[in-house]
Structure 1
Amino acid sequence: MTSVTIIGCGWFGFPLAESLIKQGYFVKANKRQQQDLEPLSQVGIDAYQLDLASECSINSAKKLLDSDMLIINIPPGLRRGETSYLANLEALSSTIGDKQYQRVIFVSTTGVYPNEDKVMTEDDAQPYSEVSQILLQAESIFARMKHSCIVRFAGLIGPKRHPGRFFAGKTDVSGGNLAVNLVHLDDCIAAVSLILHSPKVANVYNLCAPEHPTKAIFYSHAAEHLGEKVPEFNQQISPSKIIDGNLICQQLGFSYRHPNPIKMLDAC
């Protein structure tokens, strides 16, 4: 039985682990607090306590990291003002040492692309801001490992992440012309699963639904979907980037289950 370790077992990592178990993988995963391990164990995950900010905890992580494959899914938390993201990843990398995996997947974000009027492919990442510099540094830590693949998620929606209240009832909202770049949880799970068992993959894949309604159209539909008041957008025009998530389709035969962000709302 192929073993997979998931570092970061939250909103994405937990349902990913459940899916991989159903596919026949032996799954190990972690939570930072000991009291949070029981829900993982209940669904068949081999659960470990690991807090990357704790040297004591890291020193006991060898068994958790002893797997055939590794998925690293640690939210940066930069918008919340967290400052330990890179240090935590470096600590994890140091603990892994020279161990080699059949596949290493690092979950990143399309936040590495600048706000420019163009279609962004995997080659267009730039350190255009302090945040993007941190995100690209994080990617580089694991990109240098053998058999690694960086997966950049667009905006995430799905169960417990309905976007209908983001702008509900607000007025004079800017950026109504912006293209929406979103991906559903189901597609994230399916894509990572595909990358795990594909013998040859690219260094980086974007994951973003292929349809891109404007921000005004999408968030108006999202508010209506929840019975909330539709937001009012101003006429300000901003540069609008579109994330191209087609490379994984071309190379691995991936097909998005939720290509239309508006229809995604029914699966939130």
Structure 2
Amino acid sequence: MTSVTIIGCGWLGFPLATSLIQQGYFVKANKRQQQDLAMLTQAGIEAYQFDLASEKSMASAKKLLDSDMLVISIPPGLRRGETDYLANLAALTSAIGDKHYQRIIFVSTTGVYPNEDRIMTEDDAHPHSPVSDTLLQAESIFASMNNSCIVRFAGLVGPKRHPGRFFAGKRDVSGGNVAVNLVHLDDCIAALSLILRAPKVANVYNICAPEHPTKAMFYTYAASHLGEIAPEFNQQTAPSKLIDGNLICQQLGFSYGHPNPIKMLDAC
């Protein structure tokens, strides 16, 4: 039985873990707090208390990281002002040591792309802001490892992440012309599962729904979908980047189950 360790078993990591178990994998995962381990165990996950910011929890690292494959899904928290992201990733690489995996997946974000009025492919990332610089530094830590793949998710939606409240009731909102770049949790899990089992993958994949309604169209509908007051957009425009998530389709035969962001709201 192929084993997979998931570092970061939260909104994305936990449903990924349960899906992988259903697919026949043996899954290990961590939580930072002891009291949270029971939820993992009940789901059939081999659970470990492991906090990258705590030297005490490093004692459990060897067993946790002893798997065939590794998925790293740690929210950066940069927009909340957290500053220990890179230090935590450095601690993780130290714990990995010279361990070799059949596949390492590092979950990143399309925030590495600048807000420019054009289509963004996997080759277009560059440090255009302090946040993007940190994100790209994080990617580079794992990109140099054998059998690694960087997966950049667009804006995440799904259970408990309905975007209808983002702009609900707001007035004078600018950028109504901007293309929406989103991906549903179901497609995130399907893409990660495919990358784990594929014999050969690219260094980087964007995962983003192929349809891109405008910000005004999407968030007006999303608010009404929740019964909220629709936002009011002004005439001020903004650069509209469009994330191209087609490479994984071309190379691995992936198909988005939720290609339309408006329709994916029914699955939130």
Distance in 1, matches of 2:109 and 2:209, equals: 14
Partner SS state of residue 191, structure 2: helix
Q: Give the equivalent residue in structure 2 for 1:91.
A: 91
| Distance across 2 between alignment mates of 1:60 and 1:30 | 10
SS in 1 for 2:205: strand
TM-score normalized with structure 1 length:
0.99
Unmatched tracts of structure 1, length 5 or more: none
Matched residue type, 2:183: V
Which residue is 2:247 aligned to?
247
Partner of 1:35: 35
In the alignment, what sits opposite 1:112?
112
- Partner of 2:14: helix, strand, or coil? helix
Cα drift, residue 58 of structure 1: 1.8
In structure 2, C-alpha distance between the alignment counterparts of 1:15 and 1:111, rounded to whole Å: 23
Letter of the aligned partner of 1:203 in structure 2? N
Correspondence 1:119-134 to 2 at 5 A: 119-134=119-134
Other-structure match for 1:138: 138
Aligned-pair CA distance for 1:59 = 3.4
Mapped to 1, the partners of 2:237 and 2:22 lie a distance apart of: 46
1:169 and 2:169 equivalent? yes
2:48 and 2:60 in contact (8 A); partners too: no
**What letter is aligned with 2:126?**
Q
**Residue equivalent to 2:182:** 182
Distance 1:138 1:33 in 2: 24
Please state how far the C-alpha of 1:60 moved relative to its aligned partner: 2.7
After TM superposition, where is structure 1 displaced by more than 2 Å over at least 4 residues in a row?
none
In the TM superposition, what whole-angstrom CA distance separates every residue of 1:202-242 from its partner, at most 9, and x where no partner exists?
Answer: 00000000000000000000001001111000000100000
**For the residues of structure 2 that align with 1:119 and 1:59, how far apart are their CA atoms?**
45
Whether the 8 Å contact between 1:211 and 1:260 is mirrored in structure 2 is yes
Q: Distance in 2 between matches of 1:153 and 1:55?
A: 30
5+ residue gaps, structure 2: none
Where 1:18 maps in the other structure, the secondary structure is helix
Aligned CA-pair RMSD:
0.5
| Aligned pairs (5 A) from 1:4-15 | 4-15=4-15
Q: Percent identity?
A: 82
Question: TM-score normalized by structure 2?
Answer: 0.99
